[in-house]
Structure formats: structure tokens, C-alpha cells
């Protein structure tokens, strides 16, 4: 689309977080421009999991039915031991939907991105490509995003959804991505190619093993099987530059059960994703520039909340914009106390996302245990009741708009508690 006029909001980054926030703000009557550095809007990757805290927002946006048509609504989430394939625990996703009011959905990342792109087009978001932002500026009246070609785009607010390597983040903190030394391989295969394998497309399954895990679930109405293989790289731990290579993939899963090993040959071997996050920060706003999504809180993927947090960010910001519009009472949707709206956004989102980032790190350690620690973990997971929601209530419930709405964290159970189970037997 061509750019005309001065927008109320500029969003830097045309990924899932950028598009969803642009849509949310446009719904509030604001003129929004999205600056995407690539030559076309698109998304790489494969499957993505959308928990009830996200499908609730998609429903609010009027997009949930389309998302369900594009994806799969599974009935169970199952965790198995990657070495012996035994079931450790599960979530009944039908009961989960009853509890939280909205479904657990799995969808191809590009399908979700396309859904959001079409929604933005319908409401008139100004979508620009080949727009690489190299610097940001802020003043008392607004903010500017300056492109590599020297062009500057001004608005009352700039939302920086510019990813893991965010330029805007440098305005707030001088930090670098943190390597986990883990790497992910992905692959989608037609379901007919899985004949003879123990694959139930009604389930989201994760096999957890020593230094590795393997995930699979259905996509596109059950036409595709999405697979993700994650493992710790010895080369990364040794400080080598060339790490996460296919030979390491094969070695990492050599001791796993047949159900896992049969999936490894179907992984894409020409591309892999090294897994990074960043240490949490609690300041996301610099004048009229605000971070959103991975620019603010890139997580490791163990909670499947990365894209969800970005979508929540945009929804929360738009809700606080709406409250400012209502407080103004002037009938002009552009008359907003942006300082108040951004302060309210920053008051609630950073702490929630800090919890998710730190919990993802802890869960990654838990999934990849070996030896006696693995045995204790397995005993504790097997003892869990399938309808115990102590570990999901804090994350799958309604997205908090204010700090006091944030639910308490889940109870931490030490691995040593497994010894008490053994004594009870």
C-alpha cells in the first residue's frame, strides 16, 4: 500500500506481534502504519501452539473461527519419556476449554500470519515493505523511525516489534541475546508419510529426554504432521562456531525410543534454529517508543508462549488506548494521553513476561534431566492428576490489564518430593 498522510501509530516489524498490534490499534480508530524490512510480508517456521489466553484474544478480534478452520483443535496434550516412550502426564484439552472458555489450537505459523495480514488489510492498515529501520528518535510530541535509506516516518507513538535483535531495545539496555546452547530442527510431512508410526493427530505430544526433546502434532486440518526436534549442542558448549549441525542432531537422538527416532529423518536438514532468549527487563518505554514482542521479551520455547505474549502485548496496549479514549470523551479517537496509555502498558506486561521467560528456562532444564533427577521428575509427573490446573491457571486465564489482576504463580515442587512418593508406596 502507498503511504499517505501522517499515521497516529507506527509499528516497526511485520511479524505476528507487529500485525496483531496494528490490527488491535486500528480497531480503536487509529491510523496505523507497519514498516516491514523484507520485500514481502511473510513468516518462516512451521507449527505454533495457541493456548486459551491467545484464542480468547482472537475471539475478541473476530478471528477465532477462521483460525480454527486453518488449524487443528486437539483433544489432549501428552508428555512422554523420550527414552522408553512411557506416558508421564497429560492435559485433557476438552476439559481445558471448559475451564478457560476458549480452545487450545495448533496452526501453521504462516497461516496465522496470513490471517493477521488479511485482517490488517481489511481495516486499512498502511503496510510498507522494504522499510528497514536503523534508528529511532523521540521527542515531547511523538517519535520517529528512520530507515536505512534516510527516510523518516513520524507518529505520536512508535511500537518497536523488531524482534530478537531489536534496534529499539538499545535505547533502554545494552545487552545481548543469551544462548541456551540448544538448537531446534523443524519439519512438516504429509500425514500419509507417517503410516506405521504411532501418531495420533488428536494429540499434541512432547517426548522429553536427556538433553533433548521431540514434539509432534497435526496441522491444516490434519493434512500435515508438524515435528520439532530440540537438543543441546556439544559444539556450542565447547565454544565452537559451527554448532547445531545435522550430525549433532542424529547423535542427540540416538538413544531415544523408536517413536522418536522414526521422526528424525523427516526433519529439514538445511536449516536449523539456534535457541536464544534475553534476560528480562522491566522498562519497555522510552518517551513515545515502546517495545513489543520479542524486542521486549524473547523466550525459549518450552512454554509455547512467545507469539502469544506478543499478541497479548498488542491487545493490552489497545485496551489501555481505549480507556484513554473513553476518559477523553471528545469523540476523537486520536486524542489520547499516550503517556498514560504507555505507562499502564508498562505497568503490567513486563512482570508477566518476566515470569514466562524465567519459567521457560526452568522448564527447559526440567525436560532435559538425566539419571536420578530424570527418575524423580517422571515420578512427580506420573503422580499429577489429569485435571490439576495448578500449573496452567496463572498463564491460560484472562490476560491481565492491571498488575493486581495478575494471578499468583504456580507452586514449586522440588524434585526431592518424589522420594516422599516412593516412601508412601
Q: What is the rounded CA–CA span in Å between residue 182 and residue 236?
A: 8
Is 217 a residue of the active site?
yes
Tell me which of 136, 217, 302, 345 is the catalytic residue: 217
> Could you give phi then psi for residue 341, rounded to 5 degrees?
-65, -45
| Cα 87 to Cα 299: distance, rounded to the nearest angstrom | 27
What is the spatial distance between Cα 272 and Cα 85, in angstroms, rounded to a whole number?
25
Indicate which residues carry an active-site annotation. Answer: 217
Amino acid at each position: 500500500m502507498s503511504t499517505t498522510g501522517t499515521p497516529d501509530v507506527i509499528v516497526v516489524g511485520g511479524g505476528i506481534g507487529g500485525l496483531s498490534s496494528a490490527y488491535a490499534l486500528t480497531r480503536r480508530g487509529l491510523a496505523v502504519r507497519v514498516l516491514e524490512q523484507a520485500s514481502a510480508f511473510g513468516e518462516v517456521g512451521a507449527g505454533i501452539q495457541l493456548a486459551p489466553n491467545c484464542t480468547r484474544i482472537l475471539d475478541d478480534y473476530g478471528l477465532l473461527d477462521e483460525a480454527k478452520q486453518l488449524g487443528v483443535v486437539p483433544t489432549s496434550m501428552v508428555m512422554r519419556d523420550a527414552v522408553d516412550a512411557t506416558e508421564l502426564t497429560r492435559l485433557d484439552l476438552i476439559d481445558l476449554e471448559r475451564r478457560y472458555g476458549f480452545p487450545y489450537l495448533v496452526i501453521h505459523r504462516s497461516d496465522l500470519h496470513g490471517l493477521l495480514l488479511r485482517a490488517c488489510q481489511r481495516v486499512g492498515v498502511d503496510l510498507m515493505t522494504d522499510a528497514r529501520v536503523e534508528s529511532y528518535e523521540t521527542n515531547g510530541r511523538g517519535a520517529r523511525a528512520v530507515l536505512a535509506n534516510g527516510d523518516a516516518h513520524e507518529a505520536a507513538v512508535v511500537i518497536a516489534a523488531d524482534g530478537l535483535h531489536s534496534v529499539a531495545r538499545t535505547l533502554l539496555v545494552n545487552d545481548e541475546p543469551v544462548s541456551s546452547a540448544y538448537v531446534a530442527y523443524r519439519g512438516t510431512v504429509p500425514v500419509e508419510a507417517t503410516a506405521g508410526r504411532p501418531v495420533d493427530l488428536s494429540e499434541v505430544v512432547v517426548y522429553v529426554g536427556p538433553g533433548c526433546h521431540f514434539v509432534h502434532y497435526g496441522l491444516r486440518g490434519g493434512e500435515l504432521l508438524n515435528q520439532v526436534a530440540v537438543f543441546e549442542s556439544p559444539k556450542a558448549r565447547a565454544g565452537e562456531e559451527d554448532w547445531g549441525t545435522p550430525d549433532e542432531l542424529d547423535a542427540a537422538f540416538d538413544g531415544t525410543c523408536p517413536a522418536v527416532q522414526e521422526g528424525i529423518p523427516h526433519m529439514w536438514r538445511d536449516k536449523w534454529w539456534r535457541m536464544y532468549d534475553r534476560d528480562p527487563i522491566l522498562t519497555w518505554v522510552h518517551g513515545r517508543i515502546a517495545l513489543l514482542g520479542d524486542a521486549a521479551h524473547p523466550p525459549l520455547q518450552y512454554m509455547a508462549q512467545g507469539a502469544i505474549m506478543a499478541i497479548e502485548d498488542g491487545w493490552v496496549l489497545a485496551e489501555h488506548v481505549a480507556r484513554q479514549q473513553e476518559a477523553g470523551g471528545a469523540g476523537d479517537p486520536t486524542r489520547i494521553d499516550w503517556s498514560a496509555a504507555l505507562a499502564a502498558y508498562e505497568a503490567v506486561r513486563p512482570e508477566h513476561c518476566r515470569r514466562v521467560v524465567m519459567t521457560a528456562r526452568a522448564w527447559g532444564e526440567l525436560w532435559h534431566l538425566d539419571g536420578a533427577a530424570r527418575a524423580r521428575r517422571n515420578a512427580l509427573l506420573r503422580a499429577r492428576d489429569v485435571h490439576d490446573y495448578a500449573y496452567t491457571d496463572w498463564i491460560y486465564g484472562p490476560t491481565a490489564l492491571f498488575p493486581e489482576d495478575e494471578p499468583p504463580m504456580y507452586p514449586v515442587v522440588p524434585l526431592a518430593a518424589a522420594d516422599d512418593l516412593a516412601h508412601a508406596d
